[in-house]
Amino acid sequence: MTTIEPLTPEHFALVAQWLSNPDINQWLTSDWRDRVVDPVVVGVAVRNKRNKLFIVRCDQELCGLVALADWDAIDHTAVVWYVLGLAALGGRGVITDAVRQLIRLAFQELGIEALHAWIVEDNERSRRVLEKTGFRESGRFRRAALHKGRRLDRVYFDLTACDQPWKPSPFETH
């Protein structure tokens, strides 16, 4: 079973380790990419009122992060982003399920009306996560990402509170 819970200080070092991994951070913004992340930086991100970060557990094992960034309390919008910290769990739907839970929380508990996310065009796994959770491609920012020395597009996706009914993931139990 996959669960999400607010990110707390005892997990900052682990999240910093994941965000420092080049296999993970190659897909993130240049603020995180190609660098070693200090746990203090994770703490600063958590304390920013415009961010909501959640640790992901799969069968009680800490394995990833899902987050809302740039939360705008006036326009009721936010950016969704996520990382799978344990590569061995790839392809099992763990992050997809965690993103579903994050979406439900955003729309039902935080009153967000519209979410968006972006991927580097070559990141097919991340594209599948977004598509499986109801996001639709909404545009491109051409040549906006430098990935391994190549200029690639950022592909944008969006999802609104009225796009789909919110039903539990088939992996959740209540």
Tokens for 118, please give them: 């972006």
Tokens for 28, please give them: 């993130």
- Amino acid identity of residue 30, one-letter, is S
The CA distances from residue 6 to 3, 26, 80, 115, 127, in Å, are 10, 24, 15, 19, 24
Residue 149 CB contacts under 8 Å (≥ 6 apart), including other chains: none
Cβ-contact 81, 117 below 8 angstroms: yes
* Domains in the chain, CATH or no CATH each: 2-160 (3.40.630.30)
Helix axes 12-20, 39-47, angle to 10 degrees: 110
What does the alpha-carbon distance between residue 123 and residue 64 come to, in Å, rounded to a whole number?
A: 17
Q: What is the pLDDT along the chain (174 residues), one digit of tens a residue?
A: 999 999 999 999 999 999 999 999 999 888 888 899 999 999 999 999 999 999 999 999 999 999 999 999 999 999 999 999 999 999 999 999 999 999 999 999 999 999 999 999 999 999 999 999 999 999 999 999 998 899 999 999 999 999 865 555 555 443
Residue 33: per-residue pLDDT: 86
